[in-house]
Structure 1
């Protein structure tokens, strides 16, 4: 068990980040011990045989902190994260890996980029969609139940009381931090079923999002069910994909229809009261309505 104290100002600055580098590093743990991550076995079977970067670690289950620098924003680019990793001072790498001849962080960053492209890039759109859905859902929890409700619902090994966040981890040997800094919450599919932490000036807590059990399932055939018969195959698929708010171009890439075609289908769904749009910064996102959720549940499709 390790604990970190969160001041009122630190609590006010709690943020989420979807980190491709965290997923890259956590996925390597899955490949090293597939039996401990059974939900990911369909993915393991697909990528087994790929060259895996050699990450030197002094103990099983341990991840050197320099491999997971604090994400600079809510949705960082992998190359930006790898640039931070590549700039790690050699003495830090040596101290954290316990290696007399530590790996070159710049060479390791290039190796991780190649690994991501081969092992994770094909599935990244569905992984990111799940992680984004998690962030939106947790934001609603924060608004409804406050920080305590948010943190105490993240994972069975995580608890928050009296301004202290406590995390039960098998491999963590870090000392308690009575007066911690900021906290970044990082949903990560490959962290499942445990949680991982980095405690420092900006503490990071990586935890598994909800919905992982269906991550590697093949998408349902919308034309074979009642919903597809009711609204059409393409529109049924769009409603299914809108488990997370998405732009028109994102939807087009995921279901293989032109952006113009997606726009036409979305216009019909909006007119029927099944989809609405809202602006998120520079993006215009499409969102399912409550009526759409009723249709999906009645058709046997789980709502998020």
Structure 2
């Protein structure tokens, strides 16, 4: 069991944050053992081609059979608005001694997997490069959808505190978490057992890749509880694509729906994930709208982002949505 002693029971001692890097690293648990994460199978099915282009051996070596991940790859975030690039830069600056210590803790003192062996500094550089590539190919297109769910959870927990107090909020995180007097207790499946004061605050981090609450392995890490976010079961469900009747009659229901949807730049991969269709199918419609002058496109990294053109804006604005 891990125990965090709240200092003075001050609300300012408890904060919520969202970590794109935590989500990225913890998702490797689902890649390693899909059977434990059935709610993410739709996402996992779409990874086969991308994983073949990544350093999959190194990425999977960042977890063990118990699905632990190194503490240095799960840094405490400081805001619900944390940026992936900022977190990755923090990882790249990690002391190599810490890297080796955390990797050996995860792998129980056994020889490290081959992709992680060698001098710590080059090993860390390989890890950072592999994670950056994994983010670009497998995560970034879906991150806006993931982030919206995580931010929604943070809003819900804040409302719980306001209406019912800290104890009720902690009890709602997981059946293994409770507040007793001024101590937050987290019951774990592992043999971790330490008590530490929340000097500098206790950070609560919702995650899409958990079955129950977890904490850092080392008591030297900043106090943090990761817990399963609400609504994960709905994350990969196809979203409806409503469109005005008149615009549907002109363009067809799918293209009209895409035009209404593309008021902000979005990639075809993200659209396909949201709608539950193939990227090829979405691209056919996007190309037609682009050729017709209703969309403009711009390259962003490896992705092409589409949004409405001025003509598309005018056409969309002229058509009120259909009644629901």
Please confirm whether the aligned pair reaches a TM-score higher than 0.5, indicating the same fold.
yes
Match of 1:45 in 2: 45
Return the offset for 1:54. 4.5
Q: Structure 2: 5+ residue runs without aligned partners?
A: 105-111, 272-305
The answer to whether the Cα contact below 8 Å between 2:6 and 2:184 also exists between their aligned partners in 1 is: yes
Shift in CA distance, 29/252, structure 1 to aligned 2, threshold 3 Å? closer
Q: Map 1:142-181 onto structure 2 (within 5 A).
A: 142-171=161-190, 173-177=192-196, 179-181=197-199
Return the offset for 1:250. 7.9
What SS class does the counterpart of residue 173 from structure 1 fall into? coil
Shift in CA distance, 171/47, structure 1 to aligned 2, threshold 3 Å? farther
- Give the total of aligned pairs: 258
TM superposition score normalised by structure 2: 0.67
Instruction: Give the counterpart of 1:203 among 183, 204, 223.
Output: 223
The answer to whether the Cα contact below 8 Å between 2:264 and 2:307 also exists between their aligned partners in 1 is: no
Q: Map 1:40-119 onto structure 2 (within 5 A).
A: 40-49=40-49, 50=51, 51=54, 52=56, 53-56=59-62, 60-98=66-104, 99=112, 101=118, 104-119=123-138
What SS class does the counterpart of residue 185 from structure 1 fall into? strand
Task: State the Cα RMSD in Å.
Answer: 3.9
The whole-number CA distance in structure 1 between the counterparts of 2:265 and 2:152 is 14
What SS class does the counterpart of residue 27 from structure 1 fall into? helix
Deviations, residues 71-124 of structure 1 (Å, cap 9, x unaligned) = 143211111101111111111111111247465223211210110111111211
What SS class does the counterpart of residue 120 from structure 1 fall into? helix
User: 60-69 or 17-26: which moved more?
Assistant: 60-69
The answer to whether the Cα contact below 8 Å between 1:158 and 1:166 also exists between their aligned partners in 2 is: yes
Q: Is it true that 1:138 corresponds to 2:157 in the alignment?
A: yes
Shift in CA distance, 18/47, structure 1 to aligned 2, threshold 3 Å? same
The answer to whether the Cα contact below 8 Å between 2:6 and 2:13 also exists between their aligned partners in 1 is: no
Shift in CA distance, 107/252, structure 1 to aligned 2, threshold 3 Å? closer
The whole-number CA distance in structure 1 between the counterparts of 2:309 and 2:20 is 26
Q: Structure 1: 5+ residue runs without aligned partners?
A: 242-247, 270-294, 300-304
TM superposition score normalised by structure 1: 0.71
Match of 2:5 in 1: 5
The whole-number CA distance in structure 1 between the counterparts of 2:119 and 2:191 is 22
The answer to whether the Cα contact below 8 Å between 2:212 and 2:227 also exists between their aligned partners in 1 is: yes
Match of 2:204 in 1: 185
The whole-number CA distance in structure 2 between the counterparts of 1:147 and 1:102 is 45
The whole-number CA distance in structure 2 between the counterparts of 1:259 and 1:149 is 48
Shift in CA distance, 68/172, structure 1 to aligned 2, threshold 3 Å? farther
User: 168-177 or 17-26: which moved more?
Assistant: 168-177
* Greater C-alpha radius of gyration: 2
User: 57-66 or 119-128: which moved more?
Assistant: 57-66
User: 15-24 or 140-149: which moved more?
Assistant: 140-149
Shift in CA distance, 56/26, structure 1 to aligned 2, threshold 3 Å? closer
Deviations, residues 207-251 of structure 1 (Å, cap 9, x unaligned) = 1111111111111243699xx9xxxx99xx8xxx9xxxxxx7489
What SS class does the counterpart of residue 186 from structure 1 fall into? strand
